[in-house]
Amino acid sequence: MGAADDLLARVNEHGAIPRHVAIIMDGNGRWARERMLPRPIGHRHGMKSVREVVEASIAAGVGVLSLFAFSQENWQRPAGEVSALMSLLEEYIQKEARELDEQGVRVVFLGDLDRLPPVQRGAVDRVMALTAHNTKLVLNLFISYGARAELVRAARLIAEDVAAGRLTPAQVDEDAVSNRLFTAGCPDPDLLIRTSGEMRISNFLLWQLAYTELVISPVLWPDFGRAELYEAILDYQSRERRFGRVSA
C-alpha cells in the first residue's frame, strides 16, 4: 500500500468525509520559476494535479469538488499566458471528457462563460451536456469567476424579480440570494484548501464560505496530489465545527 492509500485508510477511520471540498489552486508560476521554466509549463503540470485530485475525491467519497481554475482578474495577465491557459482548458476537456464521464463525474463550469473564446465555450458546453446525468462526483470548475460579480448578478436578478412583481422585498432572504448564485442547489463547501501557503480568499465563493474550514497547504499546486488532499481532509476532520454556536 502506498502512502496515499495509508492516508485514505486513516481518513476513513478518522471521521466524516467532507461533502464539498473547494480548492484555490495556486503556485503554478512559482513551481515553473523554481525550475527556470516558462509559467505555462507550471499550468500544464497543474492539470495533472487536477486529474489526481478528481480521482482521489472519487475514491474518498467526496460529493462535490470545486476548483478555482481562472478568475475574472486573470484576464488581465499577459496575453500569452491567457491564451496558454485557454488552450489548456480546451486540451483538458478533449483529453478527459470521456474518462470523466466513465468515472461518473458531472462537470459543471461556473462563471462569466460569455467571455470565453468560441472554441472554449463550445468545449465547455459539450462536456457539461455529456456528463449532466452523472451522480458520483460533481466537479465544479470556476472559470472567469469572481465572487463579488456573482453577488452583484444575484442582486440584479432579485431586483428584476421584485420589479416584475414576482417577489416582494420581504421575501428577499438568504435562500433568495443562494438560489441566484452559480452554485444554486449545491451545499456550501465544508473544506477550502489553498495551496502554495497564501492566506487569502481572493474573491472566491465569498457567500458560500461563511462557515467553511480553511486549510492552507504549503505545497505548490503542481506538487499537490492524492496524499496532500487526504492530509488536508485529516486536518479538517480534527476541527470542531460549531457554526457560531457553543460545543455540545
Q: Does 121 bind ligand FPP (CB under 6 A)?
A: no
- Which of 7, 56, 64, 89 touches ligand FPP by CB under 6 A? 89
Name the residue among 59, 8, 5 with its Cα closest to residue 234.
8
Question: Rounded to the nearest whole angstrom, what is the least distance from the CB of residue 88 to ligand FPP in the complex?
Answer: 5
Look up cell 476513513; give the residue: 12
69-84 in b/e burial notation, b at 16+ Cβ within 10 A?
bbbbebeebeeeeeeb
Q: One of 12, 28, 74, 190 is an active-site residue; which one?
A: 74
Q: Which of 30, 51, 121, 136 binds ligand FPP (CB under 6 A)?
A: 30
Q: What is the DSSP letter of 224?
A: -
Query: Beta strands 105-110 and 64-71: pairing type?
Result: unpaired
In which region does residue 169 sit, left (phi positive, over 0), alpha (psi from -120 to 50) or beta (all else)? alpha
- For residue 228, state whether it binds ligand FPP (rule: CB under 6 A): no
Applying CB under 6 A, which part among 88-96, 149-157, 211-219, 233-241 lies near ligand FPP? 88-96
Say how far apart CA 102 and CA 202 lie, in whole Å: 33
The residue among 12 and 94 lying less far from ligand FPP, judged by its C-beta, is 94
The total of other beta-carbon atoms located within 10 Å of residue 92's CB is: 19
Decide if 128 contacts 107 (C-beta within 8 A). yes
Check 6, 26, 190, 235 and give the catalytic one: 26
Start-end of H helices in 19-117: 28-34, 39-60, 79-102
Contact between 21 and ligand FPP by CB under 6 A: the answer reads no
Task: Please choose, out of 21-29, 107-115, 156-164, 179-187, the segment that lies near ligand FPP by the rule CB under 6 A.
Answer: 21-29
Q: Does 25 bind ligand FPP (CB under 6 A)?
A: yes
For 102, 237, 245, the CA distances from 192, given in Å and listed in that order, are 27, 13, 21
109 sits near ligand FPP (criterion: CB under 6 A): no
Q: Is 152 exposed, middle or buried (0-12, 13-18, 19+ CB in 10 A)?
A: exposed
Q: Considering the rule CB under 6 A, would residue 137 count as an interface residue with ligand FPP?
A: no
**Which positions from 31 to 70 touch ligand FPP by CB under 6 A, shown as an x/- string?**
------------x--xx--x------------------x-
Single residue of 88, 97, 110, 158 touching ligand FPP by CB under 6 A: 88
Residue 126 in the binding site for ligand FPP (CB under 6 A): no
Annotated catalytic residue 74: yes
Residues at the contact surface with ligand FPP, assessed by CB under 6 A: 25-30, 43, 46-47, 50, 69, 74, 88-89, 92, 141, 221
Residues classed as catalytic = 26, 74
